[in-house]
Amino acid sequence: MRQLNRLNQYQRLWQFSDGEPQHASVAGLAERCFCSDRHMRTLLRQMEASGWLSWQAQSGRGKRGVLHFHVTPGSLRNALLEQALNEGQQHSALALAQLPPEALRNLLHPFLGGLWQNDSPTLRIPYYRPLEPLHPGFLPGRAEQHLAGQIFSGLTRFITDNPLPQSDLAHHWEVSADGLSWRFHLRTTLHWHNGDAVNAQQLQMRLQHLLTLPDLRRLFNSVAEIAVPHPHCLLFTLHQPDHWLAHRLASYGSRLAHPQHPLVGTGPFRLASFSPELVRLESHEHYHLSHPLLKAVEYWITPQLFEQDLGSSCRHPVQITIGKPDELIHLRQVSSGISLGFCYLARRISERLSQAQARRLVQIVHQSGLLQTLPLDENLITPSRELLPGWAMPHWAEEKVALPEKLTLLYHLPVELHTMAKELKRYLAGLGCELTVIFHDAKNWDNCSGLAIADLMMGDRLIGEAPEYTLEQWLRCDPLWPNLLPAPRFAHLQATLDAVQRQPDEQARCADLQDVFSGLMDEAVLTPLFNYQYQISAPPGVQGIRLNTRGWFDFTEAWLPAPGA
């Protein structure tokens, strides 16, 4: 970026005398800026024309001229950054924003949140980490899962406050009496983000590609064939009935991208930019459902805004801010709620840790005050004894059995599990049990070799729009379960899930699944620990924000009042 390079060169010149006038030759200045004499003369002319400095040259080779500075590098950086922001040059602005956190916060606040940019309503969200690539299948992060749902569509979809799948690319579907044939009838006006019309063969190709992924193959293990009997129809033929099929197709992992262009979808927003500093979405003009009221949504990846000494944290809540520093008091919490997702403790069934010993461990965790060591005062965490509302832990008589002399605990993110592991190790040491703690630096168990040796595991289970179905998907696809359960027991679990999915009645199917999890909790194979309190704060001007199950909000529902309205 030329402006940034020129600014850096100006700062090198300034620093030599801390802004005081300098007597120097062109060759000396060029040496400080690591460039040729010729390029130095060009830089001096450009900086002088911009009003940054004055250069009084002396005639003759090697003569020393006089350099006068008119602006400080800091004020110049601020002015250039503000100009880039006003002109909508996001990449240029973020490249220029090499400032201390507090200064960056003060400068960026007027440009974050909601504003009209070039007569287009735009929402800018500061975010604390780069977003991971949107590859097909399951994604570990909440932000990435939500983003996939805004860019891509599925044959079916979930909507807020409704656990049943709704129409999306398919306007309706039919199921045969035996549950082995599912016909999805497509809308006739579908378009990809690149403007091309969607055809059934493209969706068939993409679905067949998803079935080559191991996780998705396990999820759709009942699917025998996907055919195109009509240009606007997809036919799924199953080996066995699966009345979760419409749910599976509505999952974010089953959203469909263009078969030749994996980042081109049919969702309400198209991906306009994806970099470590900026992710920009723009509304899809040919979207087949209700059109977004926002023109663009931007994630500004600015970790320095979330440093702990600034009193801000984006470990879990989504923070949306706007306004000058003296206006921040007007921010209000627009939506909050207890997440259905939970952190859990699991134990591997083996001779090293019996069921009675595992039950005592569960009692220790929930009755000893260990959960109170977590940052409950930040209103982020709520201890829980339920997997889902009504799916409560069993009550056992107090276990007096001695614990093993040694155990191994494996855990992954989120950060609260660091504290939990440390406190559990300390507490068990007082009972004569040495706990070896291993941290898997990820948001899930993918590619984790320690699962085969650990006695205990702690992790985080995200819950989507259909809670019961999400837990069924967890049992089918997560690498945790074949490591927790002996092979015959895991095979029996999968056979039980097959029997559950054959139940056509939704309530009966969910009740059967609850029985499966009740059995796992009774054996102390699985124990809930706590839920998160998701929060979204926004300024008064940002409307239509409603928390969803992933702690985000549907971008299609958010809107900004017109200027002066």
How far apart, in Å, are the Cα atoms of 498 and each of 133, 220, 387, 477, 514? 33, 11, 21, 13, 14
**pLDDT tens for each residue of 180-203:** 999 999 999 999 999 999 999 999
In this predicted structure, what is the pLDDT of residue 398? 83
Assigned token pair, 464: 């989507």
Which range has the worst mean pLDDT, 132-146, 455-469, 548-562?
548-562
Q: Report the pLDDT averaged over residues 519-539.
A: 84
Q: Torsions phi, psi of 544, nearest 5?
A: 75, 20
Greatest pairwise CA separation for the chain in angstroms: 97
In this predicted structure, what is the pLDDT of residue 310? 36
In this predicted structure, what is the pLDDT of residue 322? 36
pLDDT at 309 over 50: no
- Report residue 362's pLDDT band, with 50, 70 and 90 as the boundaries: very high
Q: Report the pLDDT averaged over residues 293-305.
A: 81
In this predicted structure, what is the pLDDT of residue 93? 62
- Residue 563 burial (10 A CB sphere; 0-12, 13-18, 19+): exposed
Q: Report the pLDDT averaged over residues 290-295.
A: 90
More confident residue, 7 or 263: 263
**pLDDT tens for each residue of 124-175:** 887 878 899 998 888 888 889 999 999 999 999 998 878 899 999 999 999 9
> Going by C-beta distance under 8 Å and a sequence separation of 6 or more, which residues neighbour residue 269?
150, 151, 281, 282, 283, 284, 292, 297, 555
Which range has the worst mean pLDDT, 67-81, 126-140, 211-225, 263-277?
67-81
> 25-34, 213-222, 377-386, 536-545 — which one is most confidently predicted on average?
213-222
pLDDT at 317 over 80: no
pTM of the model: 0.80
pLDDT at 327 over 70: no
Q: Report the pLDDT averaged over residues 456-482.
A: 93
pLDDT at 110 over 60: no
In this predicted structure, what is the pLDDT of residue 306? 58
More confident residue, 328 or 436: 436
In this predicted structure, what is the pLDDT of residue 379? 63
Asked whether the beta carbons of 13 and 67 are under 8 A apart, the reply is yes
In this predicted structure, what is the pLDDT of residue 61? 65
Question: What is the percent of the chain with per-residue pLDDT over 70, rounded to a whole number?
Answer: 83
Q: Report the pLDDT averaged over residues 401-423.
A: 92
**pLDDT tens for each residue of 205-258:** 999 999 999 999 999 999 999 999 999 999 999 999 999 999 999 999 999 999
pLDDT at 349 over 90: yes
pLDDT at 72 over 50: yes
Q: Report the pLDDT averaged over residues 321-328.
A: 40
User: How far is residue 290's CA from residue 292's CA, in Å, rounded to a whole number?
Assistant: 7
In this predicted structure, what is the pLDDT of residue 82? 67
Q: Report the pLDDT averaged over residues 66-85.
A: 79
Asked whether the beta carbons of 551 and 142 are under 8 A apart, the reply is yes
pLDDT at 315 over 50: no
User: How far is residue 412's CA from residue 278's CA, in Å, rounded to a whole number?
Assistant: 27
In this predicted structure, what is the pLDDT of residue 105? 54
Asked whether the beta carbons of 130 and 144 are under 8 A apart, the reply is no
Question: What is the percent of the chain with per-residue pLDDT over 90, rounded to a whole number?
Answer: 50
